[in-house]
Structure 1
Amino acid sequence: MSAHLMCMDIGTSGVAPPDFKTQAEIADIIKVPERTLEDWRLNHVGSPYMKLGRHVRYDLAEVFAWAREQRHA
């Protein structure tokens, strides 16, 4: 883990550090093709994501929060 993420220790802030996942991991977790995640990013309609350099990462808590917002009665 990098030094700047280590300072986000649960003991110092009382908040768990983000659980960053790759596109492949998120696709597996929410059971959609990776291509769907790519399309959502291009169309600005999917789960929040971040670019760390050229790498796309998703914070698992944000993905779950976004998924809950998609619920229909």
Structure 2
Amino acid sequence: MKPPRVPEETDPRATLRGGLPDRYLTPDDIAELFDVPKETVYQWRKKRTGPPGFRIGKHIRYDPVAVSNWTAKRMAEDAAA
């Protein structure tokens, strides 16, 4: 009998390409997704220029739908320019 398959860690970029993840994203996920330093993610939040995040206690989380919408908006603005 085969042992049960252990799910592998997923790459947030691949997850968003294939569909939305079933969890909220962390600043680390956002940094990896957009291939930027985590400090950039925090600066985006401070300047309110990045994807909208929210706090759960002391932790910042990002709704994958909001991140996807933010990305689509940025792409549309870039295409119009």
Runs of at least 5 residues in structure 1 that lack an aligned partner in the other structure: 1-17
Tell me the equivalent position of 2:36: 32
1:21 equivalent to 2:25? Answer yes
Provide the C-alpha distance between the structure 2 equivalents of 1:57 and 1:33, rounded to a whole number of angstroms.
17
What is the aligned-residue RMSD (CA, Å)?
Answer: 1.9
Verify the 8 A CA contact 1:47 1:62 in the aligned structure 2: yes
Runs of at least 5 residues in structure 2 that lack an aligned partner in the other structure: 1-21
Q: How many residues align?
A: 58
Note the C-alpha offset of 1:19: 2.7
Provide the C-alpha distance between the structure 2 equivalents of 1:30 and 1:61, rounded to a whole number of angstroms.
15
Tell me the equivalent position of 1:62: 66
TM-score (norm 1): 0.69
Note the C-alpha offset of 1:67: 0.8
Kindly report structure 1 stretches of 4+ aligned residues shifted beyond 6 Å: none
